[in-house]
Amino acid sequence: MDFGLVGFSGKMGKVINETFAERDYRMVLKVDGSTRSVDGIPKVIIDFSRPEALPQTIDLCVRYSSPLVIGTTGLDEDEFKKLKELSKVVPIVQSYNFSIGITLMIKMLEEFSSKLSDWDVEIVETHHVHKKDSPSGTAIMLRNAIKNDVKIHSIRIGGIPGDHAVIFANDGEVFEISHRAISRRAFSLGVLRASEWIIDKKPDFYKFSDVIYG
C-alpha cells in the first residue's frame, strides 16, 4: 500500500513510517511544513502534524482522491467543519488517540460511568514536556464518554508518551481506570489498522471506534 504522510519528520511521523515499512508499505508522499516530496499516488493520506497544516492536507486528499487518517490534536470548531465537508468527498478516520486500549477504555466509561453518577470523578493526564495542547485530546474524549463536567489535571513532564487515569471516589472507596502508553508504537499500530480499514470505505466521517468495533 502506497501512503502519504503529513508530519513525516515528527516523532509520531517517524514511528508511523517505521511501522508501515514492516508491511513493506511505501511512503510516496511526504509533507512537513514547506517540504513536500511526491513519488506516486497515495492510497491513503495520514496527518499527524499541526492544525495549520490542515488546508494543505485537505487539498492533497481532494487532488489524489485519497482517504484521510488524521490524529492531529488542537483542532478548533472551524477546522472540524472543514473535515466534515471533506468527508463528503473522501472517507476520514479522525481520532485524538489511535490506541486500542484507550478505545476500549472509552467504551467501558460509556457503559458504566452512569452507575457512578453520585461519585466524585476527575481525570489526570500526563504527557511529555513538548506536548503543546492541554488538556490532551484524549482526556477530552474520556470526559465526553463520562458525559459529565469532569475536572482534568494536566501534567507535562519528561518524555512520557501518554498516561491517562479516570478516578472515581466516594466516602468509602476509590475506583480507578487507567491506561499507559509505553511507546508511540501503541498509536502507530492503530494508525496502520485504520489505514488498511479505510481504503475501501465510502465517503463519511468515521471514528477509530468504528475501525475497532465495525
Catalytic status, residue 131 = yes
Separation between Cα atoms, residue 188 and residue 210, nearest integer Å: 17
Structural domain tally of the chain? 2
**Which candidate in 82, 131, 201, 207 is catalytic?**
131
Say yes or no to pLDDT of 26 above 80.
Answer: yes
pLDDT band at 186 (very low <50, low <70, confident <90, very high): very high
Q: Among all chains, which residue has been given the C-alpha cell 489524489?
A: 64
H or E element that contains 105: helix 100-112
Residue 54 is predicted with a pLDDT of: 97
Residue type, 71: G
> Looking at residue 34, what is its pLDDT?
80
| Active-site residue, 179 included | no
| CATH number of the domain enclosing 165 | 3.30.360.10
Residue 60 and residue 120 in one domain: no
The answer to whether residues 92 and 117 belong to one domain is no
Per the structure, the complete domain to which residue 173 belongs is given by 100-181
Residues tagged in the binding site annotation for NADP(+): 36
- Helix, strand, or coil here: 123? strand
Q: How far apart are CA 148 and CA 169, in angstroms?
A: 15
Summarised one tens digit per residue, pLDDT across range 84-129 is 999 999 999 999 999 999 999 999 999 998 899 899 999 999 999 9
